[in-house]
Amino acid sequence: MICNACGSDRLSKFNGELAIHLPGWKGLIENIVWVFPKILVCLNCGAAQFVVPEAELSTLGKKTRPA
């Protein structure tokens, strides 16, 4: 596997803990959506990628409108 940002093969997986807030004033009212994904981090450039699990993705979809 190679990094999409820099092309390096120095990638490593980590456990993640993310609190997703909605943007703007709505983010102050709505509850935080907690996500605990596996995060793939490039140890060369720092680029990271993860997938939001289906249950949390559904919750985010209910709280927002597509842009």
Nearest to 20 by CA among 50, 47, 42: 50
Place of tokens 């490039």: 42
pLDDT band at 65 (very low <50, low <70, confident <90, very high): low
* pTM score, whole prediction: 0.77
Q: Residue ranges per domain, the chain?
A: 11-63
First and final CA of the chain: distance in angstroms?
31
pLDDT over 90 (residue 40) = yes
